[in-house]
Each structure stands twice: as structure tokens, then as C-alpha cells.
Amino acid sequence: MRFIFIVVLAVLVRATIARVSTSNVVDVTWKPVRRNTPQKQCRDACPGTWTALSAAEWVKVANPGWNVGNTLDAVPDEGSWNAPKLQEATLDDVKKAGFKAIRLPVTYTDHFTSSSPDWIIDSAWLQRVSDVVDMATSRGLHVLTNMHHDSWGWADTSQPNANITMIQEKFYRSWLQIGKKLACKSSMVAFEPLNEPAGSSEADAANLMKLNEIFLQALTDSGGFNSKRVVTLSGLGMSSTNSYAPMFVRPKHIPNPWAFQYHYYSPYDFDFQAWGKTIWGSEADKAAVVSDLSAVRGNFTDIPIIMGEYSASQLNCEAAARWKWYDHVVRTATSLDIGSFLWDNGLDNLQREAGIWRDQIAVDIIMSTVKGQTNSLADSTTDPNALKQETSAYIFHRVGEDVVDTSLPFLLNGNTFASLTIGGTALKAGEDYSISGSNLTFHQSFLEQYISPAATPGSKTNITINFSSGAPSQVEIIQWDLPTLAQYNASASVVPSGSDLLIPIVWKGLHQVAAVKITDSDGKYLFDDWTMWLPELQKGRGTKGSQWSFDFDHLTITSSALQTVEASGKTATFMFEFYPRAVGHGNYLNFTVTP
């Protein structure tokens, strides 16, 4: 029945599309208008020779990869967002860390200098893209580049009044120009047509499949080595659930070696700090990852696969749970022969100006996992119904409490403890710590070098734990007390319309919000009341970015949350929770918002 529907749809579209250019049904009659034909005779002339790579070979040598996020994909220009302009030293740091490739997202939206029919891209912008590609390949880093946030705007075929003919024309002209500029790059360089294409319906998928075909045609027409170059193709949103027909249909006559690409941020609530889910690592959690990734592999048993983005941000996720997630996701991908590219928006992973990885343990886990090594990991709570979240990534000591011996469990996974160090100086077994099976006990006398009932709150030191194999782990010693705020209440009505409420904070411990519970004056959950069915540590919690956020100096209540409070006519309480996290533990602050 679905096949009959598609055939009928295709006939109707063929009959009407020439007259209805704004229909958002796939335009099967669109054909590229080739210009600059005098160049066609010499377009295949490239200096040097082409070293052929199959898509499987490219994925293998490019694994693991790193995303240059929020950089050339920033809108309107490189450097417009949080990440600085890309410097060569950054790529040196990326290669030194062990990454074999970069994914280079590029947004072209604000770099067109003319409109239909030519859609000329600014030559300086194309040169910048070319220069960055050369910066990477000259260091032995493979490159996967694309059109990125264009998918938000002009290339969004899912909009009700999308001008499909215009989009197709602009897409062809764009990739023709990009292709010509990069035509003679080596086989280290691969192309991806469009990041996370918008849409959800079969009609949207059909439009995307047409764009995939136009992309391939533009590469062929652009000459050079491009008809031999590795490309990646994807389904809507680059979701793993859109990897099957009719949501993804393989091109019939594809000249290029190709791989399927998808992105993985799952479970959403853990990865993006939604609804208080800070616990991860149960057998059910791990089984879900295996199921997700195996389903994609099952749809492409004969095609290489790239997980073009994945991440569990150190800004969002508790450390031990995060390390477990990285280990399991990358290990599962590796076992299924899926290449992986870590997403990095300039805040999550590499601190580019300093050349320091914000979570070196996560990077080490990725590298050792790709090599097939077994990692030992800090243990943590995995029961989502737990009332207290335990973690071996930290020793939390509260101001005013006595210092005692502290034992932490680890998941050795067949390894043994090798050594413990602080800044390269070895700790002394028996004196500073002791080992019992998979447990490490830090002695009171050792801990008192860093913490005491009266010690100033904050991070005191990091202990590196080395094992007989795999990545090291880390224990951070934290002296904590409740943070202090510049204010504890505000009126939603006095905050300028469309503005967030920024609340200055003085941190006194780990600089991270775990979750925020939001209730009105009647005790009802102000957002997502369905969370009443979730475990105790998740009930009534909001979502980071939607209702709340934080940075190094502020807690934030978003403008949309303020509007909801004002519209409700009731006072709301935002309970900001911090780590260590437990029901009734007292490590939280209430902020009151009146309408």
C-alpha cells in the first residue's frame, strides 16, 4: 500500500510541480542549469594523483573524529558565537589527543553575494573553508565538511510554504561552488550534504532524498576528484530512527563511495539535563544503547556508518555517569564498526585558547575504547529510583563536618589498580590510601591535607588513578557549602520582556547545577506535570535551556519560564539543586518568582 501511494504521489507531483514552485512536495522535474561551461573542458585537471579510498577505509582511518563546532558554522560568521576563530594550534591539540579527523561544520547562509539563479558564495568565505581544510590535512587529519545551519533556514524543505524549486536550485549552485573550490583536495577530504535536515514526514524525507541526489550531481559537475570522493548521506534530523525506507532511500546510481551518517544524543533527558535525570548506567540504560546502534547497523549491513555527533557534556552530566556513558557508547559503536566524531561546541570539551581538555578522562576513555582496551571506571548510582546519588568521581566534604576515612567503589572490569598520583607525585599505599578488592579507601590523615571542618569551600585537588590497562580515572576532592546568591526573589513583571533573569551566584563547591524543581504556590508542578510519575529525584524538575540554566557567574531563569509564571498569576519556587545530590540532603537553594 505504501508503494502504491508513493507511485501515485510521484505522478501527481510530475503533473503539477512546474506550475506550483512553493509546494513542499519533492520536485521530481528540477534539473540543474549548468553555467560557466567553458570551464568544463579543464575541470578534471588536478595536480598530483588521486589515492583512492573506499568509504569503509575512510571511516576506519578517520576514527575517532572531533567536531569543530560553533566555529565556521556560527551565524552570521566565524567567531560570532562562543568559540574563537579556529587556530592551527587547536588542530595540533586535537591531533595530540589522538583524534584522526575533524568534522568541519560550515554555515553558508550569510555568505551569499547574489540571489537566483547563480547564488554566488563569497569567494573569501570559500577560501577560508579551503584554508581550514588544508590546515587539517597538512597535519594528517582527515576532514568531513558540510553545509550546517543552513538546514535551519533557507534549506528547510519542511516549512509549509517552502519554495522547493528555489531550495533545490540554491542547493545545487552551493555545492557546485563548494565542490569546485575543494575539487582537487586529496581523498582525506569527504563531503556531507546537509546537517540534521529538518522534517518528520515521508514527504519531507522524499524532499531530502532529492537534495541528496542534487548534491551528488553537483559534485559530479564540479569536477576534479569529486566524483571519486567519499560522501556521507543521512535521513531527516540525522536521527538513527530515520535510517530505513521510506525515511531514507539509497540513491540508485551513486558514483561516490558513501557512508551513512547519524547523530546520537540519547537518552535525551540525561544528555541535555532534562527532568532531573542525572543517573545513568543501569543494565536497561546500556541495553537501550546497544539496541539503538544495532538497529542502524542492521539497516546498513553493507554500508559504512559514521556517528557524526555524540556527546555527554561536562556542563550537563555528573562525571562518573558521563564516563560510563562515553565508555559504553563508543565501545558499542566500535564493536559494530561505526566510526565516531565527538561533538565540541567550544564549551563542552577542548578549551581552545589554553589547549586544555575540560574532561581529559572522557577523552582518554574514547581513545582507549577505540583501540579495543578495557577501561576501569568510577562507580556511581545506577538505580533511577534511588533517593541519593552516589559517585566515585568525587569526595564531597561539607563545611563544618569532621574528616573521616572515605571509601569509593570502582568498576575494575578485569583490571587492577596500578598507581595513584597528584600532579605526577605518587601517593603512598598503606599511608595515604588502601585497597580492598575494587574499593579505594582514602585515609583521614591524607584527606586532612586538603579538607577540614573550617576549610574554604571549593575544589581542592584531583587524584589520578591509573590501572593495569585502559584509561585512567580521577577523584576530585571538593569542600562544599551552600552557594550564596545576590538575591533570592524577583518579580517576573519587572524583567524586560524577552529577557532572562540572571542571578549572580558565589559558588561554594562544584560549579554545577544538578537539577531545578519548579512548583507554584499550590505545590503543583509548573512545567511538565507528567513528571509526577518519575522517580523522586526527577519529579517536577524542569529542563536546562527551556526553563533554567547556569554559567560561571549566574543562575538563569529563562524568559519563557518567567512568562509562564506571570501568566499563571501564582508565585513560583525554583529549587536549584547542586551536587552532592540527595532527597532531604539540604544542598539546594530556593528562588521565588512572583507574577
CATH number for the domain formed by residue range(s) 484-594: 2.60.40
Residue 220: CB atoms within 10 Å: 14
Quick check: 41 pLDDT over 60? no
Q: What is the CA radius of gyration of the chain?
A: 26
Q: Transcribe 29-96 into DSSP letters.
A: T-------GGGGGGTT--SS------HHHHHHHT-SEEE-TTSTTSSSSTTSSSSPPP-HHHHHHHHH
Per CATH, 388-480 and 484-594 having the same topology is answered: yes
- Could you name the CATH architecture of 54-372? Alpha-Beta Barrel (3.20)
Domain ranges of the chain: 54-372, 388-480, 484-594
H/E segment holding residue 440: strand 439-442
Mean pLDDT computed over 434-451: 98
pLDDT at 24: 41
Helices 123-137 and 88-97, packing angle to 10 deg: 40
pLDDT value at residue 48:
86
Q: What is the mean pLDDT of residues 414-431?
A: 97
Phi-psi region at 274: left, alpha or beta (left = phi > 0; alpha = psi -120 to 50): beta
Q: What is the pLDDT of residues 88-101, one digit of tens each?
A: 999 999 999 999 99
How far is residue 336's CA from residue 327's CA, in Å, rounded to a whole number? Answer: 14
Amino acid at 115: S
pLDDT band at 524 (very low <50, low <70, confident <90, very high): very high
For residue 455, give the C-alpha cell: 576549610
Decide if 296 contacts 240 (C-beta within 8 A): yes
- In sequence order, the β-bridge partners of residue 231 are 191, 258
Mean pLDDT of the chain: 93
pLDDT band, very low/low/confident/very high, at 21 (cuts 50, 70, 90): very low
pLDDT at residue number 583: 87
Class of domain 388-480: mainly beta
Of 233-237, 248-252, 320-324, the one with minimum mean pLDDT is 248-252
pLDDT, position 68: 98
Whether 490 has a pLDDT exceeding 70, the answer reads yes
Question: What was the pLDDT predicted at 30?
Answer: 58
Binned at pLDDT 50, 70 and 90, residue 133 comes out as very high
Section 329-339 average pLDDT: 98
Integer Cα distance of 339 and 104 in angstroms? 16
With a pLDDT cut of 90, the percent of the chain lying above it is 91
* Better pLDDT: 379 or 3: 379
Given a cut of 80, is residue 42 above it in pLDDT?
Answer: no
The pLDDT value recorded for residue 567 is: 96
